[in-house]
Chain A
Amino acid sequence: MKKTDEHIDTFTKKITQDAGLETPSIDFTAMVMAKVEESTISSKATTYEAPISRNMWLGIAASFALIIACVLLEASPKESGILSSINFTFDYRFSLPKISFSKILGYGLFFLVLTFMIEISLLKRYFERSIS
């Protein structure tokens, strides 16, 4: 039995080597290189940049500071400001309508949100896998 196994082993080696290699289509390398070039270009194209540039952030900060400064200046007790002409007294005596949810609706909404969040995480993982 051992002798037969050895014979089959030698026989398999011989036939596998005799079979040799198979060759793909003639333009195989060209096709691979085209894909490689394409991936190099697309990886350059998808270089991520911050949606808000540094200069824009500085502009936003400056305008925000300006608004605060204006408000503070206007808030100081002066008779001649624009804001002094507006009447800020407001009558808060109103009541909101009472809305009551049933327990079933509450549970329904809870599970809907739960399902939604689980689905998002599963979909995220699926797309990440399919891209990588």
Chain B
Amino acid sequence: MNTSDNHYLNLVLEGDTKAFAALVDRYKDLVFTLANRMVSTREEAEEVAQDTFLKAFRSLSKFKGDAKFSSWIYRICYNTCLDHLKKNKRKPNTVAIDDITEAEVKTLESALEQLEQKEYQESIKKCLRQLPDDEGYIVTLFYFEDLSVDEIATITELSKSNVKVKLFRSRKKLFGILKKELNVSVN
């Protein structure tokens, strides 16, 4: 566990509630990003992220120091997203998985290179949000947070092979979404 996380956790457990704000500040962007890639709208993601921190605060005494605080909070966030999806409308799962050729990858890369930095980032964010169910969540944990398949399996309570399959499918789906979004055609 990160030493600073531990320091703030001890303060909170000793009764200094305000010390929790430091942990919220530290993880809010990532928790919000993860939630935003699983639920439909930004407002819902904000609500889910707030609930995640509230749940974490309430069950802080149950947190075992042998796991990373970050992994623990990602797990709470994942479960809160699932609860939210159960109650609300899910994102449509209609992304096709097509075979991709080397030429297509290169064409898409050059199409992205032509975009302005801000436009480039916005396009990718938009496409990541379009990944159905928990795929955007898993992709972010694997490729952005550099978590291993084992760690993701623990967070999501899925089997390792299931996580691998989801990663494989999401890569292809993300590619298809980007191609459609940028209107790229390969001859």
Contact = CB atoms under 8 A, between A and B. Distances in A.
Interface in A4-45: 4, 7-9, 11-13, 15-25, 28-29, 31-33, 35-37, 39-40
> Mostly helix, strand, loop or mixed at chain A's interface?
helix
B29 A16 contact: no
Interface of B: 17-18, 20-21, 24-25, 28-30, 32-33, 36, 45-46, 49-50, 53-54, 57-58, 100-102, 105, 108-109, 112, 120-121, 124-125, 128, 139-140, 143-144, 171-172, 174-175, 178
Contacts of A98: none
A93 interface: no
Nearest to B178: A15
A94 B38 CA distance: 76
Nearest to A43: B58
Contact of B112 (A15, A28, A32, A37): A15
10 contacts: A11-B109, A12-B143, A12-B174, A15-B124, A19-B124, A19-B128, A23-B32, A24-B32, A31-B50, A39-B54
B177 to A, nearest CB: 11
Given A8-B175, A9-B171, A29-B21, A24 B54 contact: no
A121 B8 CA distance: 41
Nearest to A9: B171
Interface of A: 3-4, 7-9, 11-13, 15-25, 28-29, 31-33, 35-37, 39-40
A28 B171 contact: no
Contact of A18 (B17, B24, B25, B120): B120
Contacts of A4: 100-102, 105
A18 B124 CA distance: 8
B179 to A, nearest CB: 12
A16 B121 CA distance: 9
A13 to B, nearest CB: 5
Nearest to A37: B17
A6 to B, nearest CB: 10
